[in-house]
Amino acid sequence: MDPWKLFLERLAGSNLIAEWRLTSGAAFFMAPPPIEQIGDRGFDTPGPVQFSELLAVVVRANQPLGGLAKTNDLAAVRSCLPLRGLSATDHGDRIEVQVSDCGPR
């Protein structure tokens, strides 16, 4: 199983807002997709995203959103980690999750 799939299944239904960075250079903010939108190779949002396109997911304790701020529960993210195939860097105020350099995807 792709580690991104397992990570997203663990976060599904949470009230987080994360920054999603793609290998194309695109970045966007959204909540983890609902479990029924997570497939074996990716997930559906307004447009489909393949796990192979995901570069990183960044969850900030306080995520600015156009003049507002969303408070995220970083403990919920920490409880989903570690996962083989993903590495996570905990900066205290944010957690960055990305594909690790070792291990199969």
- Residue span of the structural domain in which 64 resides: 3-99
Residue 9 lies in a domain: yes
Q: How many domains does the chain have?
A: 1
The pLDDT score that the predictor gives to residue 103 is 45
Measuring CA to CA, which residue among 95, 92, 101 is closest to residue 14? 95
φ, ψ of residue 13 in degrees (nearest 5): 85, -5
In tens, the pLDDT along 15-44 reads 899 999 999 999 999 999 999 999 999 998
Residue 104 lies in a domain: no
Residue 26 lies in a domain: yes
In tens, the pLDDT along 60-75 reads 999 988 888 899 999 9
Give the span between the Cα atoms of 43 and 85, in whole angstroms.
Answer: 18
Q: Is residue 29 a contact partner of residue 20, using CB atoms and an 8 Å limit?
A: yes
Amino acid (1-letter code) at residue 70: K
Residue 27 lies in a domain: yes
Residue 14 lies in a domain: yes
Residue 105 lies in a domain: no
